[in-house]
Structure 1
């Protein structure tokens, strides 16, 4: 059913938002959790084992957020580099907590084997408000290109620039939630003055490959490992997940660079976006975090072996 039948509560169907509509949308956003308590405090605790750096700051009104990354303390330029990003979409909780949990529980297994660079929460304003966009109604995960004007994306690009050409692996940890269909995609359609066309939410975990440079065996290794923790999303009646053809069990692909997605920011030969489904009756938040950790470990193991 299109947005003209049940229009989004902000704006006029068929007309892109202007400043007034964006201001109205912003006025409806409320802080629901604390980036300082959930992310910065965890980074401080991990500071005994990793170098913690502030790679930028974003400020919206009275709210200012340091952007933090953690890197291997014994950085060795002779070792391969693994980049892990979470919270590009702030509402996708296990991306943030899964990245931190990997550092707490499993990163030591890779000491002396890889250099780790982890940005656990790319979008802190959105994390606190459990939202997809930043305060300017911009989606960071369509903005990873120079000059995008999206502060969260541009700051991460600057952080990653020194390893852009040399990284072995990039894991970008995401979720697909029921609110994608009930709130975020309708809001996107309203913002852009387009009709909303429901697509359905995949029931389970899947990954996103690069359609311009697919790596199917790698993607399947990640899916196989995560299946030990949570269920894999089956294809729908059209053989698709979220409107994209299923290339293999639990695998779809997007044009990463064309769309300005986070996994386009390095030339790593191994890259994937994880998509955990936290709204399933079959999983708990702990399982969602564990699925992200399992995906990261499987990806590192595969990359090192291949």
Structure 2
């Protein structure tokens, strides 16, 4: 069943033109500061990690430096793991969880793995608490070869320049009530399509790469996160956000086909976390802690089960 949902920009059934995109952009005030919330914490880590700027974004009067952190010079004898946060800027614990991991737990992996951490892929979206970037584009559907989405192109360039193959990539996200109240209606308005309502799951879940599923890896993360916050149940149709539940707290998407951030490496072990910050049973502190537990559990499992790492295919 589909239904028309009023969205204050555009004409129902008609895709947006540049005029509507500009109208949408004008309706997105800055609500928090990347320069205040994120950059000082990154700079404070410079004494413990190699901090570099891997790109910059220039949107109107706003400019943002994009930061990557490494736990030292890459050691070719060690596997490499990528942690990304803030691909969707409004998903706060993705950014804060990545920072908290660096501040509290990353040192545990010194000499065991080459860590590459990007704490906020989409700072314009972070400041507006929005899923989209300046151009009303979802970065997490545009990680594709030849992309013209700056957030995606910069991250893909960073990954391509990393020596050696990746063992693991974990991309930190949230599913929020605003997905149904704002972002999916906005998507349908932008694309001129009908809105089909869905149910926001109450709890944490994972999105495995359907093109290379690793069920034991996913369950190791679920078991660790469950100590911090609750796991989302399936709905009455056995689904989470419209996708069949393949194991407790796990659904699958074909990451590369969907243009998701989880497709930027050829790592054997990949996942996208989804924390639910609007639950009455979860606090912001629990959400951040859940992201940290997910990263650590993923690293622990991947390192214990690394076997032979295949040659990189980019």
Q: 1:68, 1:119 within 8 Å by CA — same for their partners in 2?
A: yes
Q: Superposed, which structure 2 residues align to 1:1-306 within 5 Å?
A: 2-4=2-4, 6-163=5-162, 166-306=165-305
Distance 1:74 1:149, change over 3 A: closer
Q: CA deviation at 1:164?
A: 8.2
Give unpaired runs (5+ residues) of structure 1. Answer: none
Which secondary structure does the structure 2 equivalent of 1:173 belong to? strand
Which secondary structure does the structure 2 equivalent of 1:191 belong to? helix
Q: CA deviation at 1:77?
A: 1.6
Provide, for residues 233-270 of structure 1, a one-character-per-residue CA deviation record: whole Å limited to 9, x for no partner: 00000000000000000000001000100000000000
What CA distance in whole angstroms lies between the structure 2 residues aligned with 1:254 and 1:51? Answer: 33
Provide, for residues 218-239 of structure 1, a one-character-per-residue CA deviation record: whole Å limited to 9, x for no partner: 0011011000000000000000
Q: CA deviation at 1:148?
A: 1.9
Size of the alignment, in residue pairs?
305
Distance 1:166 1:30, change over 3 A: same
Q: CA deviation at 1:146?
A: 2.0
What CA distance in whole angstroms lies between the structure 1 residues aligned with 2:148 and 2:158? Answer: 16
RMSD between superposed Cα atoms in Å: 1.1
Q: CA deviation at 1:2?
A: 4.3
Which secondary structure does the structure 1 equivalent of 2:248 belong to? coil
What CA distance in whole angstroms lies between the structure 1 residues aligned with 2:37 and 2:67? Answer: 13
Q: Which runs of 4+ in 1 moved over 4 A?
A: none
Provide, for residues 168-203 of structure 1, a one-character-per-residue CA deviation record: whole Å limited to 9, x for no partner: 000100000000000000000110000010111011
TM-score norm. by structure 1 comes to: 0.98
Moved more, 181-190 or 140-149: 140-149
What CA distance in whole angstroms lies between the structure 2 residues aligned with 1:72 and 1:37? Answer: 24
Moved more, 76-85 or 227-236: 76-85
Q: CA deviation at 1:163?
A: 3.7
Q: 1:164, 1:267 within 8 Å by CA — same for their partners in 2?
A: no
Q: CA deviation at 1:147?
A: 1.9
Give unpaired runs (5+ residues) of structure 2. Answer: 306-314
Which secondary structure does the structure 2 equivalent of 1:54 belong to? strand
Partner of 2:312: none
Provide, for residues 266-286 of structure 1, a one-character-per-residue CA deviation record: whole Å limited to 9, x for no partner: 000000000000000111100
Q: 1:17, 1:192 within 8 Å by CA — same for their partners in 2?
A: yes
Q: 1:99, 1:118 within 8 Å by CA — same for their partners in 2?
A: yes
Distance 1:57 1:3, change over 3 A: farther
Q: 1:165, 1:266 within 8 Å by CA — same for their partners in 2?
A: no
